[in-house]
Amino acid sequence: MLNKTGQKDLVLDYNKMIETILEEKEEITFEKLRDMIEEKKRKVGAGYLTDQGALFLVAADLGVSFDKTNRPENSIKDLFVGARDITTIGRVISIHPIRSFLKRDSNQETKNRIIVVYDKDSSIKIKLWDEFVNIPEQSGIAVGDLVKISKGQVKSGMDGKPIINLSGSGTIEHVPEEKKHNIPTIEEITTTIDTLAGPKENLVVLGTINTDPRISEFTNIRGEHSKSLQFETTNDSNSRQIRTIIWNINEENIPKTLTTNQKIKLIGVKAKEGNPNYGNGDIEIHGDEGTTIDFIDSEKTVDSYMLRIISFNEYNNEDKINCIAVDENEKYYLVNINKNLFDIEINPDDIIECFPTRILGNTIEISSQDSYIQVINEDKNIPLSSSLDTKIKNIEVSNRPFFIEAIILQSPNTMDINTKSGETIPVTDTIVGDDTGEIRLVAWRETSRELRNLNIGERIMIKAVAATTSREGKTELTLKPYSSITKIS
């Protein structure tokens, strides 16, 4: 309650003002602030300024505003579409890249960016506009940091959920960690593969990469060509495998080495009901361009590799050479070499020494100036392609390539297929056999030319072909960009 002179409220306000200045200006001590107040009273308003009046003037000199101190902080769960000038505090769980686009009405370029924050009860997206998009880099805001959002406007996102728009007079700034506001840390909200039970957003999941990571291309909801990173994540006992997909990834943001058996933490992902057509029907983990991949142990370093080239397709029109290589332990690698950077002649069974740009599962990228490759003429203990032959009866669907000597049993047939994206592509197939059985051989797109000129009765060597499952559920062979076929006279 107020006393008769009303001084109690003034004292309380004064103390709050002192606290605000000391929070915002950490370099100023209480004693120094006290001296600044006395100096202001002496020089500006001797006999006319109270301590609180002088404090207003000191605050103005320091650039500290008390407007936001009178505005209560909102819990994220209490924010609603249409709310204006809101203030809330949260911890950053993901920071998305900057997007540029043209406004429909003015054809003017604009930029925005998404940051996702959470508190103890909920989470929300913050959309930074135009001059605000560089704030994370300029202010050193990173995943895991506590931030305060002021003067934000709550709009409806594309999914109908509230989203905070930040522009104009809005601000986003660090909050001292010692004032946690009961918001758990990234470590405190981390869960494991074992505990995933149902759909949930903004998760931090701990697990181990169980299959070779791979990058796939797709068309996103904006009609843009994009890429996804896919692998399985497993628990410590390997008793549960979860299909994991990171959508709209930028390859430059993927760790230089990402292989099986690495223990990782996925920050900013969600659990979704699994698609039984693509996995085991269990929960799936989905991330996006804001997801962070952290290593529990130190990241593996990129080492040099000694490999034997066992197959490549010289008719490939891309700017890279796609090869299949094998090491001394008979582990297979897909090696992609940038032809524009490395003028190198490679022949089957050559041994190469290389320092990769990136290792993604069993894929080695040699595509930048800080990588190298050379052909060496040393007799290394690495298998020759001729020692890797397989009989048709022993072929089963797996990640390894197969080498098969066979006879053409059916004239190759080519037909055009229309894809979902409206593209028309050629597909050629035939039947091949050896003394143990017969199997269908299929070639899509550019690789279909490998089959078109083959005739019934010809003996061929098929190198680095993949074993896949047809729509009818049967095992068949599929040519890849690195596969090759040679006729045996």
Please give the pLDDT value at position 199: 92
Interior/surface letters 347-361, b for 16+ CB within 10 angstroms, e for the rest: ebebbbebebbbbbb
Please give the pLDDT value at position 180: 58
Q: Domain map of the chain by residue range?
A: 7-69, 76-174, 187-295, 305-376, 389-488
Token readout for 192 is 């494991």
Residues 6+ apart with CB under 8 A from 114: 94, 95, 96, 125, 126, 127, 128, 290
Beta-ladder partners of 94? 116
Rounded CA-CA distance 325/310 in Å is 5
Residues 6+ apart with CB under 8 A from 79: 86, 88, 124, 154, 162, 164
Looking at domain 76-174, its CATH superfamily turns out to be Nucleic acid-binding proteins (2.40.50.140)
Q: Do 187-295 and 389-488 agree at the fold level?
A: yes
Please give the pLDDT value at position 268: 96
Per-residue pLDDT tens digits of the chain, which is 489 residues long: 233 333 334 344 677 788 888 877 878 888 998 899 888 888 876 666 788 888 888 888 887 776 544 456 788 988 888 888 889 999 999 999 998 888 777 778 889 999 999 999 899 999 999 889 999 999 999 999 999 999 899 998 888 889 999 988 889 998 887 765 789 999 999 999 999 998 999 999 999 999 989 888 887 777 778 899 999 999 999 999 999 999 998 877 788 889 889 999 999 999 999 887 777 778 999 999 999 999 988 777 777 889 988 888 665 556 778 888 988 888 889 898 888 888 788 888 889 898 998 898 888 988 888 888 888 877 678 888 777 889 999 999 988 889 999 999 999 999 988 877 677 888 999 999 999 999 999 998 888 888 888 999 999 999 889 999 888 888 999 998 888 888 987
Please give the pLDDT value at position 6: 37
Rounded CA-CA distance 349/308 in Å is 6
Question: Cα-Cα-Cα-Cα dihedral of 49, 50, 51, 55, to 10°?
Answer: -50
* DSSP-derived pairing of the beta strands 372-376 and 363-366: unpaired
Please give the pLDDT value at position 421: 66
Please give the pLDDT value at position 1: 29
CATH of 305-376, one of 1.20.120.10, 3.30.565.10, 2.40.50.140, 3.40.50.300: 2.40.50.140
Q: In this structure, what DSSP letter does residue 134 have?
A: T
- Please state which architecture CATH assigns to domain 389-488: Beta Barrel (2.40)
Looking at domain 187-295, its CATH superfamily turns out to be Nucleic acid-binding proteins (2.40.50.140)
Helix (H, G, I), strand (E, B) or coil at 136: helix
Please give the pLDDT value at position 314: 60
Residues 6+ apart with CB under 8 A from 295: 255, 262, 263, 264, 265
